[in-house]
Amino acid sequence: MARRPRTRKRDRGPVPLGRAYIQSTFNNTIVTLTDPTGNTVAWGSAGTAGFRGSRKSTAFAAQRAGE
């Protein structure tokens, strides 16, 4: 099997303008930050903030996901 050539990760730099999308369900909250064209710059959720189970659905966990 042939190896793929290594690709360099492109550095996007600072984004002067963007959008924040918040998806809130009964079980989790997901926050996605995008540039004006819609490419994801950063994202976070209550699960990635360290909350598990029913603690993911709290307002405090949603605050931590947005940080």
- The pLDDT of residue 29 is 93
Q: Three-state DSSP class for 29? A: strand
Residue with tokens 């999308």: 21
Residue 21's pLDDT is 95
Residue 32, CA atoms < 13 Å, CB-side half-sphere: 9
- Six-digit token pair at 50? 């360290």
Going by their DSSP bridges, the two strands 40-45 and 19-24 should be labelled as: unpaired
Structural domains of the chain ordered from first start: 19-66 (3.30.420.80)
Per residue in 3-62, pLDDT (tens digit) is 888 777 677 778 889 999 999 999 999 999 999 999 999 999 999 899 999 999 999 999
pTM (predicted TM-score): 0.75
Q: 3-state DSSP call for residue 40? A: strand
Token reading at 49: 């903030």
